[in-house]
A and B are shown apart, each in its own frame.
Chain A
Amino acid sequence: MVHQSDLIEHDIHAYLKAQEEKSMLRFITCGSVDDGKSTLIGRLLWDSKLVFEDQLAALEVDSKRVGTQGEEIDYALLLDGLQAEREQGITIDVAYRFFSTDKRKFIVADTPGHEQYTRNMVTGASTADVAIILIDARKGVLTQTKRHSYLASLVGIKKIVVAINKMDLVDYGQARYEEICTQYGELAQDLGFEEITYIPISALKGDNIIATTSQTLMLETNMPWYDGPALLTYLENVELGDRATTRPFRMRVQWVNRPNLDFRGFCGTIASGQCRPGDCVVVPSSGLQSKISRIVTMDGDLGIASAGQSVTLTLEDEIDISRGDMLTVPEQRPEFADQFEAKIVWLHEDALLPGRSYLLKAGSAVTPAQISALKHKVNVNTLQFEPGKTLEMNEVGVCNIALDRAIAFDAYVDNRHTGNFILIDRFTNATVGAGMINFALRRATNIHWQAVEVDKQARAEIKKQQPKVLWFTGLSGAGKSTLANLVEQKLHSLGKHTYLLDGDNVRHGLNRDLGFTDADRVENIRRIAETSKLFVDAGIIVLTAFISPFRSERAMAREILEPGEFIEIFVDTPLAVCEQRDPKGLYKKARSGELKNFTGIDSAYESPENPEIVINGAERSAEELAGKIVMELFG
């Protein structure tokens, strides 16, 4: 018996203590229809006492009704769950089964072997540590065997058990067994498995399923020539080698925990590596760094946490982190990119369409994404590359994918938990694809953000320019607005980010409450200067076109900006020319006394003393003058 019945009966406390140390193993069984998957799992459940008496009673009844074993028990019926499929006698989906021994708890994904069910196998295999590939001893290695092995390697399973089943039907012959081992060894050569274990079994009769005493002593066994482990012995002892723990620290934030203003915890499951309070962490998307201050759990703070644990981390600094962000070690950062190459398994009847927008979900990070190119398909039977325009259900392809925004990830071969994603149809919400990332593409690679505060410089850099104020000053009609407009057009065509503040857009809004008294003129210019300063802070090149007659206000504007940012452009057009132009008839009104406080007539214009640029608006065409200003400033 697999469970220690004695201990259970006589010292339940000791038994419970021992149970606390149990580990967990997930595996899948793959094989073609009728290779014996269901029978094998049924037997494992049976032998580990996981079948209860009432289930057995039901099993006996069912065996007679729909079983394939005549009057004998059909273990497969323990497995084949849904009514419809029981009547068809086939497994139609992934089913999860549980059994345990004193050493381990096992989760088995029972995945069917039909041609059209690649998707089920990939689903079942995605969480498995070990794959059991069933081979019918009579049939040997088949096309399907190759497919199952490829899919197991595709989803990153490193340990394979080749269970050569129905040995009872080949007289338990060693030669046949060895022949199949050789065949399989050739097939698996390029699949990158770390460990392949061959076990000859009979799922139906129970040979080499669990280690019985007589088998251990090699007495009365049907296969005395086999000296390897029984299947269950292997499963109980196979090294799970916590490789995830030795890899660099990664955790995607699932939830930001803020019960009150004093606590800000980042919740997630550690995908790889370990962390301790005091460790530096970085957020690849922003480049911001901090240190872990606490690892919080309801059972008290932890001194260390490792891959697989669901934890809540608090950091020393208040940095901006939200769901979908990844916390990682600064020394070994993940990729951070918006394009990558990936293998995709298509799971849905509606074929993949390159160019269509799907939702990509990688851990807790979700972003729209497109397949920008389907490079080739992989024939899962021959492993040959084939060209293709779409991927149909159960097909595997290598694709380039472009995301709407960059995310952090690793190559799937390096990290199964940070290199995977699913694709969701944005209209039907169906899960349509499963992806395994190969590598980041082009420019996207490894441009890690510096931890910059978003300041004037950052804003300016993103616009690739030096923010400035081009302060046009001069009499009414001197040509300030005309010139400012032309200069702005030229800068814009050079790709500069500009903004023009003019009488029109300021007087009617921001300064609507101001008239033309000296006090109001001062206030007018002060507000324009302050507004210009804000635009400069935003990284923009500002042009202002106001008479701005007083030196002190222009000096004030110069002072509130940084050295070099204030460019005073004196449009020095003689009064006579201005008065002659008189585009709005204002000089006339001023001369006739209808208009009070008009600059140049009954209000002073204080000429600049050291303007950066002086233009005589009467000398040349506005177009030429504007060109001259741009040349001088942006040469």
Chain B
Amino acid sequence: MTHLEQLEAESIHIIREVAAEFENPVMLYSIGKDSSVMLHLAQKAFYPAKPPFPLMHVDTTWKFREMIEFRDRMAQECGFDLLIHTNEEGARQGVSPFTHGSALYTDIMKTEGLKQALDKYKFDAAFGGARRDEEKSRAKERIFSFRTETHRWDPKNQRPELWNIYNAKVKKGESIRAFPLSNWTELDIWQYIYLEQIPIVPLYYSQVRPVVERDGMLIMVDDDRLKLLPGEEVQMKSVRFRTLGCYPLTGAVESEAATLPEIIQEMLLTRTSERQGRLIDHDQAGSMEKKKQEGYF
């Protein structure tokens, strides 16, 4: 078997195991490329049946418009049940990346929103598309990652994971985050998307887009909620995104890569890791580890 065939088989094994062991699993759908691969693998795992769990998107209300369009189209085309949850309290209070800063905003709209949704639907397992190669603290993450009743992750108290046997036992209120893409790298993901022709949000491809330069990043002006600061001006640049999140927090890279091979080529020839485009990781050293402990993915 080739490495992609092996990765695919292992992911399918994990997805089936979760479906079989838990009463009420959900697949978290972030609309990014990893989510697209995860969705594709879920379809493969249960073909010709539909996956026996819904998709859930935690909508911070600050996603790129193209992401939302893509999400709704995919849900319709694949016939998935799509649940959308927003932290209404946060939205009512007008929490935004501009007013509250990236750390607090992420905590309220993303981490809290996710916990609310998990509590509301009483999910006992949630699939996430995180990879171990993304960030140092994730390299030690289990494939079945245990979360307490308050959704906390305790890096010192994780269940050892041997072979491909996963311990799925949880008490009422506790849950498991399952990461079927744990052993994939960014390059594996792109190669697989290329090979399997998996649809992805067009924002990954270069196009001339309106951007402003802010804090050393190129931020796309996706709607009129982005207010220009003194000295800033909107520029039209050929840009694309290596990672997708909330538009005010996601930096674009200047690029001409308009096809998958070109994207892969660009990725291999530049040596900047993908999470750099995300503001939240840079807040403090080891910040991802802190966020994970609090329940962020």
Chain A interfacial positions (CB closer than 8 Å to B): 3, 5, 8-9, 12-13, 15-16, 19-24, 49, 51-56, 79, 81-84, 86, 92-98, 100, 104-105, 107, 119-120, 122-123, 126-127, 254-255, 257-259, 263, 265, 267-269, 296-299, 306, 308-310, 312, 323, 347, 359, 361-364, 416-417, 420-422, 424, 429-431, 434
Contacts and interface: CB of A to CB of B under 8 A. Distances in A.
Interface stretch (B24-32, B107-115, B159-167): B159-167
A424 B167 contact: yes
Contacts, number: 188
Contacts of A123: 160-162
Contacts of A55: 273
B162 A96 contact: no
A105 B160 contact: no
A123 B162 CA distance: 5
Given A100-B185, A420-B165, A424-B167, 17 more contacts: A16-B191, A24-B7, A55-B273, A81-B136, A81-B137, A82-B289, A98-B133, A123-B160, A259-B49, A259-B50, A298-B44, A309-B5, A310-B8, A364-B17, A422-B165, A430-B159, A431-B167
B132 A308 contact: no
Interface in B142-190: 155-156, 158-165, 167, 169-171, 182-183, 185, 187-188
B273 to A, nearest CB: 4
A151 to B, nearest CB: 12
Contact of B140 (A23, A93, A359): A93
A464 B187 CA distance: 64
A255 B16 contact: yes
Nearest to B6: A24
A23 B159 contact: no
B121 interface: no
B133 A309 contact: no
Interface string B234-250: 00000000000000000
Contacts of A259: 48-50
B47 to A, nearest CB: 4
Contacts of B158: 93
B139 A96 contact: yes
Going nearest first, the 10 A-B pairs with the smallest beta carbon separation are A259-B49, A52-B273, A81-B136, A24-B3, A429-B169, A83-B286, A298-B47, A310-B12, A126-B162, A105-B3
Contact of B132 (A15, A92, A98, A422): A98
B84 interface: no
A100 B139 contact: no
Contacts of A363: 165
A54 B289 contact: no
Contact of A12 (B137, B161, B188, B262): B262
Contact of B139 (A9, A81, A86): A81
B265 interface: yes
Given A16-B261, A259-B49, A421 B3 contact: no
A436 B128 CA distance: 31
B258 interface: no
B9 interface: yes
Q: Which of A8, A15, A105, A420 has the most chain B CB atoms inside 10 A of its CB?
A: A105
Contact of A269 (B4, B9, B269, B272): B9
B268 interface: yes
Contacts of A422: 162, 165, 167
Contacts of B167: 361, 422, 424, 429, 431
Contact of A95 (B44, B139, B261, B270): B139
B157 to A, nearest CB: 9
A82 B3 contact: no
Contact of B269 (A8, A98, A420): A8
Contacts of B132: 96, 98
A428 B150 CA distance: 17
Given A422-B165, A429-B170, A23 B1 contact: yes
B124 to A, nearest CB: 12
B256 to A, nearest CB: 13
A23 B286 CA distance: 33
B98 interface: no
Contacts of A12: 261-262, 264-265
B20 A254 contact: yes
Given A12-B265, A310-B16, A257 B49 contact: yes
A576 B163 CA distance: 82
A359 B168 CA distance: 11
25 contacts: A8-B268, A8-B269, A9-B265, A16-B194, A19-B191, A20-B4, A23-B1, A24-B6, A53-B272, A81-B140, A83-B285, A86-B286, A96-B182, A98-B133, A127-B162, A257-B49, A267-B16, A359-B169, A362-B165, A417-B163, A417-B164, A420-B162, A429-B170, A429-B171, A431-B167
B185 A254 contact: no
A257 B46 contact: yes
B183 A98 contact: yes
A79 to B, nearest CB: 8
A255 B47 contact: no
A78 B197 CA distance: 33
A254 B16 contact: yes
Nearest to A416: B163
B76 interface: no
Nearest to B143: A96
A97 B131 CA distance: 11
Contacts of A417: 163-164
Contacts of B16: 254-255, 267-268, 310
A269 B289 CA distance: 33
B137 A309 contact: no
Contact of B17 (A254, A359, A416): A254
Contacts of B170: 429
Contacts of B99: none
Contacts of A16: 191, 194, 261, 264
A308 B159 contact: no
Contacts of A254: 13, 16-17, 20
B229 interface: no
B102 interface: no
A182 B125 CA distance: 51
B272 A122 contact: no
Nearest to A359: B169
Nearest to A81: B136
Given A95-B139, A107-B183, A309 B9 contact: yes
Nearest to B171: A429
Contacts of B93: none
Given A3-B268, A310-B12, A434-B160, A424 B139 contact: no
Nearest to A104: B3
Interface string B201-221: 000000000000000000000
A498 B219 CA distance: 83
Given A20-B195, A122-B162, A297 B49 contact: no
B173 to A, nearest CB: 12
A269 B13 contact: yes
Contacts of B195: 20
Contacts of B162: 122-123, 126-127, 420, 422, 431, 434
B139 A97 contact: yes
Nearest to B13: A269
Contact of B160 (A13, A119, A296): A119
Given A259-B49, A364-B20, A53 B271 contact: yes
Contacts of A255: 16, 19-20, 46
A54 B169 CA distance: 39
Q: Which of A81, A267, A420, A434 has the most chain B CB atoms inside 10 A of its CB?
A: A81
B261 A431 contact: no
Nearest to B190: A16
B43 interface: yes
A515 B182 CA distance: 75
B169 A310 contact: no
